[in-house]
A and B are shown apart, each in its own frame.
Chain A
Amino acid sequence: MAQLSLRDVSKSFGEHGELPVLRGIDLEVKDGEFVCLLGPTGAGKTTLFRCIAGLETVDEGEIWLGDQMVNELTPAERDVAIVFESYALYPTYTVYENLAYPLRERRVPNAEIKQRIEEVAEVLHIEHTLQRKPQTCSGGEMQRIAIGRAIIRRPKIFLFDEPLSQLDAKLRNEMRTELKRIHRDLKQTLVYSTPDQLEAMSMGERVATMKDGRIMQYDTPQEVYLHPKNLFTAQYVGDPTMNVVKGTVSSSNGNVRVACPLFTTEITKKNTGTSRVSPSGEVLLGIRPEELTLEKPAGEAVSLHAEVYAVEGYGDYSLVSLSNGDIIWKMVIVGDIGKATLHSDEKVTVYFPKERLHVINPVTEEVLM
């Protein structure tokens, strides 16, 4: 059990370090916390994990586990457990020996190994696989064996590198629940990487969005969703993706006037970030598809007119594409009423709550308000 802190960690690949992969990562993970690293392929999540585990050396920065700086320690000395995306089970050993491996390397007596394997196998429901070779097990079983091999030696910290990406959708949902439960039982520090925002949002106590070797935002899932700090986070979190349109802002008698081809509105916010808007006043305006409604919501709302471009029904909800000129926005309507009532080319008026509008600087991609 330990907290993890990364201080300005950088890493480049290539003979002359010409391929930067991590660019000054700062991250604090509290003892017992479940943190998700969320980002697309190539963001540096796996490299970051490899650095934490000691499989790669860092070029700059410090990695602390508990009160120890571990930069110079070998992987074996760090006492970190990784669950690899490919599981990396030992194909020549039985499942039992796979689970025993980390304990044997630490010279744990046989009797204790047996007892711990029984415990872990029971928790993960893999008792029936113990005498088999891992490659004869199903994907879900291999996944649980890999987790078992990590938890059996009670390491300081767990690193889960996209552990569910090889599973089919149904199994992934089940394993998500399982993992949450395992973490609740173990109460151990766990860092989990995934390209799937749904996984990150549903599992992490805190979520760190990553892009191009940088942490873009590190906060609770609610904050990341409601108050993204930058365009990347705003668009990566949430499905379907946030609608974004080009617009302008201008000040008029203390209020901020926001205009775009779809709508114009005035905002009175205490924390206006207009000082950081470029002189021309160009901005990007973002609104989540879930915030758009056909009925006028309570409180201050903005309305806009559009034509229905297409309706896709998903059973429990419908995804409506709205068009206005060459701008196409998505809108989510929960329940199947939407599909039944809306038709292509129909003209509609939709609304969204004013406080849910995000104003983004198009150059720095920073969310201003």
Chain B
Amino acid sequence: MNNKRGGTWKIIKPYVAIVASFIYFFPVLWVFLTSFKPRVDIVTTTPRFVFSPTLDHFFRLFFRRVTVAPGEFALEATPFARFFFNSIFLSLFSVALALALGTFAAYAISRFPMRNKGFLMFYILSNRMLPPIAVVVPLYLMYRTLGMMNTYWGMTLLYTAFSIPLAIWMMKSFFDDIPYEIEEAARVDGSSRFRAFYKTALPQVWVGIAATFIISLIFVWNEFLFALMLTGRETRTVPVALSTALRGERGVDWGLLASVEAIYVVPAIILAFVAQGFLLRGLTFGTVRK
């Protein structure tokens, strides 16, 4: 009996998975389709899956026509390219910085005896426990007073601080999982502590670094609240631009919105796909092994 039920479930399982993933991915799919649809196909009341695709929205996202003289138009770049650059730069740079600092910190916490280690780790994590909304007002005042509003370094600092706790926690679990004896063997073999760290320990946690990098990157990539409050025209990131810049006089420009989203989610999706092996190992590392 049992066997038979298991057999049926085995057959059904992939279909359940397909249905579930379709439910999850349908909105994403719809955004993609919308970004290629002509305006008339977007605003119809019956959803359309068949249409003649256009790149018009993507074009409008980066360029706009301005009238230079009667009957003469010129193309002018919209600030969107810059917003994309801001998003990419801020997330890559701050996550890289957080990961570098976090890896060292995690290694030290994992390997050296220190007092109140548990409290220290809790304290580091408590940074992430506060809801962002609670700190955004004091941060706003601080940033304004210190002249850090609307600066790249101000935002980098913020996102680095924002990413460090996760980096430390994740990296510590990776270091905890690799035997200390290997580094000790290296030290006996003639390495300094630092060389033992980067020649033997670091190569063993590459998976962890990759996983931490991707997870942190997605957090910063999606961050909205701080960016909304603390960035200005020059340092604005895409999520903020999306919410503010696209509300034209004629209501929401759905085509434009969809094209931004399509561009914005593509890197995240590609990253998640490429790295799903890492992510899976990264998230389960230390919990299921051994």
Contact = CB atoms under 8 A, between A and B. Distances in A.
Contact of B190 (A84, A86, A89, A106): A106
Given A90-B182, A91-B182, A82 B204 contact: no
A50 B180 CA distance: 13
Contacts of A149: 185, 189
Interface stretch (A72-80, A165-173, A326-334): A72-80
Contacts of A90: 182, 185-186, 200
Given A82-B185, A91-B204, A76 B191 contact: yes
B203 A101 contact: no
Given A74-B192, A76-B192, A105-B195, A88 B187 contact: no
Interface in B157-198: 179, 181-182, 184-192, 195
Contacts of B187: 54-55, 74-76
A76 B192 CA distance: 7
A281 interface: no
Given A92-B203, A105-B195, A86 B188 contact: no
Contact of B181 (A81, A84, A93): A84
Given A75-B187, A76-B192, A81-B189, 7 more contacts: A55-B187, A80-B188, A82-B188, A84-B184, A88-B182, A92-B200, A105-B190
B203 A81 contact: no
Contacts of A25: none
A153 B185 contact: no
Contact of B179 (A53, A78, A86, A102): A86
A102 B204 contact: no
A74 B203 CA distance: 23
Contacts of B181: 84, 86, 88
Question: Of A74, A88, A102, which is in contact with the most chain B CB atoms at under 10 Å from its CB?
Answer: A88
Contacts of B199: 101
Interface residues of A, number: 25
Contacts of A84: 181, 184-185
A91 B191 CA distance: 17
Nearest to B200: A90
B195 A88 contact: no
Task: Report whether over half of chain B's contact residues are helix, strand or loop; otherwise say mixed.
Answer: helix
Contacts of B189: 76, 81, 101-102, 105, 149, 153
A55 B193 CA distance: 11
B192 A88 contact: no
Interface residues of B, number: 17
Question: Which of B188, B200, B204 has the largest count of A CB atoms less than 10 A from its CB?
Answer: B188
B31 to A, nearest CB: 41
A88 B179 contact: yes
Contact of B191 (A53, A55, A105): A105
What 10 A-B pairs have minimum CB-CB distances, sorted nearest first?
A105-B190, A92-B203, A102-B189, A88-B185, A88-B181, A75-B187, A76-B190, A75-B188, A88-B182, A82-B188
A112 to B, nearest CB: 15
A297 B187 CA distance: 57
Contacts of B204: 91-92
A158 B182 CA distance: 17
Contacts of A78: 188
Interface string A99-125: 001100110000000000000000000
A189 to B, nearest CB: 15
A54 B189 CA distance: 12
A53 B203 contact: no
A233 B4 CA distance: 63
A101 B179 CA distance: 18
Nearest to A155: B188
Nearest to A83: B185
A88 B191 contact: no
Nearest to B187: A75
A14 to B, nearest CB: 11
Contacts of A105: 186, 189-191, 195
A76 B199 CA distance: 15
Nearest to B183: A88
Interface in B176-232: 179, 181-182, 184-192, 195, 199-200, 203-204
A86 B181 CA distance: 8
Given A105-B189, A105-B191, A55 B182 contact: no
Contacts of B192: 74, 76
A254 to B, nearest CB: 58
B260 to A, nearest CB: 42
A92 B205 CA distance: 10
A76 B191 CA distance: 6
